[in-house]
Amino acid sequence: MLTRRRCLAAAAAFVGGLTCRDPSAQPADSDLPFLADVQTPPAGPTDDWPPSLLVGVDGAPIATWQEWLPERERIRAAWLEFLGPFEVAEPGHEYQLLAEDLAAGCRRRSIRYATEPDEEVDAWLLIPTDEAARPERGWPGAVVFHSTTDETIDEPAGTAASDAVAIGTWLCQRGFVVLCPRCHLWNTTPAHRLDLPGAVARLAQRHPGARGMRKLLHDGIRAVDILRTIDGVDPTAIVAAGHSLGAKEALYLAAFDDRISSAVFSEGGIGLGFSNWHDPWYLGDAIRDPAFRLDHVQLLALTLPGGLLILGGEAGPGAADGDRSWGHIARALEVGRLERDRPRLGLFNHRGGHAIPPPARELLLDWLAGCAGGAGG
């Protein structure tokens, strides 16, 4: 069993310094021709601008990328400390094949793998059927997280009645191998029904001091572990995406796992006050303390140089992101521009409510394909 100090050190080393991400290996701007559009400020004034990240703890300005790197590691360590310890042994990378079928141009495999030595999770693994189209370096991979629904993994894998958020199937059709894992919040009952009190109590018993997002981050990292071992996957081209709850998971995975090339955050509520981040299965009431100094703009900056696209619905029931999300993007862009003229961060406010309407769907796919090196053309 790892000690807490060793756990934090291992986590920092694993998701560790930005040197794990080679800026020169990032896709060219030609793969993301819409960057200028998603980096254009909203027409009207926007509130909710976090403080600048370009000031060190000593008050000195941060003016170069090299000066940013120590601050980046300080921020990373502060967030990991806040998220709490998560001490588990390596559960291995094997998975069990439960069933297989063909649908919508995808080979769909129902699989089960260990997230912890004594805990397993089910997932859909989607593989393109056109082997002749597989790139020489292998298919790019994607981890796609589901929203708050009892359809769980059937939602992103397109096996549910509605395909309105079938991100996994869309990406598979664009030439990705996709893993859609079930969130642990549905893992406490045999029927996989949402059991928030049970999941919170179970986490507190198994991992005292760990916040809900620490468990979600751990499980996301395990999904990347599994995906990178799938035959035919390019382990250097892994992206992440999610809608609502799934967006929250994608943000933290992209921020703390440098194996993620880029991500899409659809209607997750980027600001700590934009959504229910205070709930115990996420971050808890500590974020409401006036003395709390961490902010999600820091996580956006941690995704660099890989980056992230926010999809916002602006208004309507459940809508969490929109023009007010711009301040977070703008502050993170200030950091990114220390490294390149046009960082891979952006906001697309589709104004379609808490959904992924067709224009947002197409941009999501183009963003992830471009960030994976032009997958699917």
User: pLDDT of 259-275, one tens digit each?
Assistant: 999 999 999 999 999 99
For residues 125-154, average pLDDT: 95
pLDDT at 189: 83
Across all residues in the chain, what is the average pLDDT? 91
For residues 90-112, average pLDDT: 94
Is 323 inside a domain boundary? Answer: yes
What CA–CA distance (Å, rounded) separates 339 from 198? 44
Is 245 inside a domain boundary? Answer: yes
For residues 146-175, average pLDDT: 91
Please report, for residues 83, 250, 287, 328, the alpha-carbon distance to residue 290 in angstroms, rounded to integers and kept in the order given.
Answer: 18, 27, 8, 19
Please determine, for residue 233, whether its predicted confidence score (pLDDT) is greater than 70. yes
Is 37 inside a domain boundary? Answer: yes
Res. 196 pLDDT band, cuts 50 70 90: very high
pLDDT at 353: 97
DSSP string, 41-106: PPSS----PPPPS-B-TTS-B--SHHHHHHHHHHHHHHHHHHH---------S-EEEEEEEEETTE
List phi, psi (to 5°) of 348: -120, 110
Number of domains the chain contains: 1
Least Cα distance to 26 among 311, 303, 348 occurs for: 303
pLDDT at 45: 73
Q: Which residue has the higher pLDDT, 2 or 183?
A: 183
**Around Cβ 174, how many Cβ atoms within 10 Å?**
20
What CA–CA distance (Å, rounded) separates 135 from 306? 21
Separation of first and last alpha carbons in the chain: 46
Is 376 inside a domain boundary? Answer: no
pLDDT at 288: 97
Is 159 inside a domain boundary? Answer: yes
The CATH number of residue 66's host domain is 3.40.50.1820
Lowest-confidence range among 80-84, 108-112, 158-162? 158-162
By residue range, what is the domain housing residue 68? 4-371
Is 377 inside a domain boundary? Answer: no
pLDDT at 317: 93
Least Cα distance to 220 among 232, 231, 228, 208 occurs for: 228
Please determine, for residue 1, whether its predicted confidence score (pLDDT) is greater than 70. no
Contact indicator for 260, 224 with CB cutoff of 8 Å: yes
The per-residue pLDDT for range 23-40, each reduced to its tens digit, is 445 555 668 999 999 999
